[in-house]
């Protein structure tokens, strides 16, 4: 799972062809459309990057509904510590799906 403003983080992760899908979330519709062409990326539109912790919990619930993960799995989340500037990813978290 990656929170990305311009899609660069999702494209960079895709470059390494991980076995698991990359759930890329952005507020920009144009970025979402362009990420549809990137191998292994499932783009998802979000309203805002504010409240990152709550946003990640909500996105994990959405991923469960989409059958991308299930209870007991671990999810790797890549995002920025600055909610107002999500263009720079500097945090990597491993969260367990509840």
pLDDT at 86 over 90: no
| Average pLDDT value for residue range 68-97 | 86
What is the per-residue pLDDT for 89? Answer: 77
The per-residue pLDDT for range 15-63, each reduced to its tens digit, is 999 999 999 999 999 999 999 999 999 999 999 988 989 999 999 999 9
CATH number at residue 64: 3.40.1380.20
Range of the domain at 36: 2-96
Residues 53 and 31: beta-carbon distance below 8 Å = no
Q: Structure pTM?
A: 0.88
Distance separating alpha carbons of residues 39 and 92, to the nearest angstrom: 21
Report how many domains make up the chain. 1
Token pair, residue 3, equals 């929170």
């Amino acid at each position: 799972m990656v929170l990305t403003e311009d899609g660069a983080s999702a494209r960079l992760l895709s470059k390494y062809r991980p076995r698991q899908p990359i759930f890329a979330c952005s507020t920009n519709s144009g970025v979402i459309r362009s990420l549809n062409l990137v191998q292994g990326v499932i783009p998802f539109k979000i309203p805002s990057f504010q409240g990152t912790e709550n946003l990640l919990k909500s996105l994990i619930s959405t991923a469960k509904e989409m059958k991308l993960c299930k209870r007991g799995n671990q999810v790797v989340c890549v995002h920025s510590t600055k909610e107002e500037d999500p263009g720079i990813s500097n945090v990597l978290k491993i969260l367990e799906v509840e």
